[in-house]
Amino acid sequence: MEVINMYEKCLNMLYERGVGLSDIAQCVIYLQRHHHPEIQEEEIIEVIKNVLKKREVQHAIITGITLDKLAESNQLHDDVLHDILIKDESLYGIDEVLAYGICNLYGSIALTNFGYIDRDKPLIIKTLNEHSHMCHTFLDDIVGAIAAAAASRIAHNA
């Protein structure tokens, strides 16, 4: 029951911040385009849903999005952290640390997939990075990590 509620809460939080399951699925397709070009979005979305049912993934999502929102509304009560998050400073690193917390659960392929998508920043990850009025310092990495985790699961199941 609690797990299901947390799952729905996370889906809602992602959606409210502009990320739908289909956006994440497109990232998975991007990651798998050379290896599994035949895979269908429907199938991928099932894998993504399973990633989102993991408790540690859920905790990363609510923690990261909460920090993004507090930065955006200037309610962190810490000027230094506020500036870092608003600017999405490339040397901050804690956003990636949270993302690795997700990827690690899916093994080494998830980690390399994340590194790749985090440098390339395709699709929704690019959109999130280009928002000028919103702070997505954590969210873009979380979305990349979920996509990388799903791609890893698909590779292992193939």
Based on the shown chain and the rule CB under 8 A, indicate whether residue 134 belongs to the binding site for its own copies.
Answer: no
Size of the site for its own copies (CB under 8 A): 46
Report H helices in 53-93.
Answer: 55-72, 79-87
Write the CB contacts of 12 (distance below 8 Å, at least 6 apart in sequence): none
Interaction of residue 113 with its own copies, rule CB under 8 A: yes
Q: Is residue 100 a contact residue for its own copies (CB under 8 A)?
A: yes
The mark string for 17-46 relative to its own copies (x by CB under 8 A, - otherwise) is ------------------------------
By the rule CB under 8 A, 87 interacts with its own copies? no
Helix axes 55-72, 139-157, angle to 10 degrees: 160
Shortest distance in whole angstroms from residue 90 CB to its own copies: 7
List the one residue out of 12, 44, 24 whose CA is nearest residue 125: 24
Contact between 77 and its own copies (CB under 8 A)? yes
**Helices in the chain by DSSP H: which ranges?**
2-16, 21-32, 41-52, 55-72, 79-87, 94-103, 108-120, 123-130, 139-157
Nearest to 33 by CA among 141, 90, 117: 117
User: Which lies closer to its own copies via its Cβ, residue 41 or residue 96?
Assistant: 96
Chain positions contacting its own copies, by CB under 8 A: 6, 9, 55-56, 59-60, 62-63, 66-67, 69-70, 75-78, 80-81, 84, 90-94, 96-98, 100-101, 104-109, 111-116, 118-120, 155-156
